[in-house]
Amino acid sequence: MSARPTVILHTDKPAGALAVLMETHPDLPVHPCDSYAALPELIERVAAEVVYSIRFDGTPRYPRQALVESPTVKWVSIGGSGTDHLGRWDPTRVTVTNSAGVAAGMLAEYALGAMLSFSLDLRGFARRQQVRQWGGGRVEPIEGKTVLIIGLGKTGEAVAKRAEAVGMRTLGIRARPKPMPRLDEVHGPDALLPLIGRADFIVCCVPLLPTTRGLLG
């Protein structure tokens, strides 16, 4: 790869990232691209070596071939954890990296918010509010409930941290089980079905791979 590689920012809204990159690396040739259809031609035209790409318009039309089979692209940086939408690639010719853990905190907060929403019936309260009904509703404390976290990478650990903070019991599954902070129990994949029966909530934090597809039906 050259000292000043040509870069493509392939997102639905590349302007923000482009501004940051231009501020830190003003001499770097960077080209924004906000569509799937335009990417193959742009890669060829500018002989891009580095492409930062986000799957922002679904998988079926994702231009994977332009990324992993281009003769010029040496590095594909995926703005997410999963790389299933890339299919197979030749690691001797192109390096693929992901952004696992970058959004772990936000994803964990989303998971905690969803669990609280179910326990406190926030959707029910919102529906009654729309028709000006101020009584009724059933709420349950989340403290003491059990959450099963499948996958204990950065996101799974962040979920466990927040679940522990609100007094939940935390069960975890990882490929190679070992004791971990903030997890009451850690098991291997073979324990999935028994643990599901013990859980009030299940948070799946594994990437979509051939080995994880259909994990929860």
Residue 140's alpha-carbon distances to 104, 116, 143, 145, 155, in angstroms, are 27, 9, 9, 10, 26
CB 216 within 8 A of CB 195: no
Give the 3-state secondary structure of residue 75: strand
pLDDT at residue 2, as a whole number: 78
**Short-list 147, 151, 216, CA closest to 188:** 151
Q: What is the pLDDT of residues 110-152, one digit of tens each?
A: 999 999 999 999 999 999 999 999 887 789 999 999 999 999 9
Domains of the chain: 7-97 (3.40.50.720), 104-204 (3.40.50.720)
Shortest CA distance to 73 belongs to which of 51, 106, 40?
51
pTM of the shown model: 0.80
CB-count exposure of residue 203 (10 Å: 0-12, 13-18, 19+) = buried
Q: How far apart are CA 145 and CA 85, in angstroms?
A: 35
Residue 33: phi, psi to the nearest 5? -145, 125
- In the numeric block, the tokens 């040739």 are attached to 29
Query: pLDDT value at position 81?
Result: 83
Count H helices, E strands: the chain? Answer: 7, 9
Whole-number Å distance between alpha carbons of 123 and 116? 11
Cα separation, 168 vs 147, in Å, equals: 7
Mean pLDDT of the chain: 95
Strands 30-33 and 50-53: unpaired
Give the model confidence (pLDDT) of 66-115 as tens digits.
999 999 999 999 998 888 899 999 999 999 999 989 999 999 999 999 99
